Amino acid sequence: DIQLTQSPSFLSASVGDRVTITCRASQGISSYLAWYQQKPGKAPKLLIYTTSTLKRGVPSRFSGSGSGTEFTLTISSLQPEDFATYYCQQFNSYPITFGQGTRLEIK
């Protein structure tokens, strides 16, 4: 199985900050990576697919980059509604796997 390791696991930041979350894969996954946002008690929501393609309707302050084994999700200017847990997910090979999550909290 491909292991995805996110860092940091916990992040405290302020509204307006620029934040970056990293997702490292245990082996190369080309660009087959997606990012999700999950708020407490809710289902995850797709933000980005194929590393850098923003889902329609997702604010442009979200961006993704990377390839191979290292990927990043960047939020350029945090808004109050962005405080949530973020997950990466690989679809290079079965079984599909997720990172352990990064919890983003208000400082």
Partner 1 sequence: QVQLQESGPGLVRPSQTLSLTCTVSGGSVSSGGYYWTWIRQHPGKGLEWIGHIYYSGTTYYNPSLKSRLIISLDTSKSQFSLKLSSVTAADTAVYYCARDWGALGNWFDPWGQGTLVIVSS
Interface with partner 1 by CB under 8 A: which residues? 32, 34, 36, 42-46, 49-50, 55, 87, 89, 91, 94-101
Residue with tokens 């997910």: 89
C-beta closer to partner 1: residue 34 or 75 = 34
* Shortest Å, Cβ 49 to partner 1: 4
C-beta closer to partner 1: residue 9 or 77 = 9
C-beta closer to partner 1: residue 19 or 48 = 48
C-beta closer to partner 1: residue 12 or 53 = 53
* Shortest Å, Cβ 2 to partner 1: 11
Cα 105 → chain centroid: 15
Which parts of the chain are beta strand (E)?
4-7, 10-13, 19-25, 33-38, 45-49, 53-54, 62-67, 70-75, 85-90, 97-98, 102-106
Spatial separation of the C-alpha atoms in residues 71 and 89, rounded to whole Å: 11
For residue 43, give every residue at least 6 positions away whose Cβ sits within 8 Å of its Cβ, in sequence order, or none: none
* Shortest Å, Cβ 85 to partner 1: 9
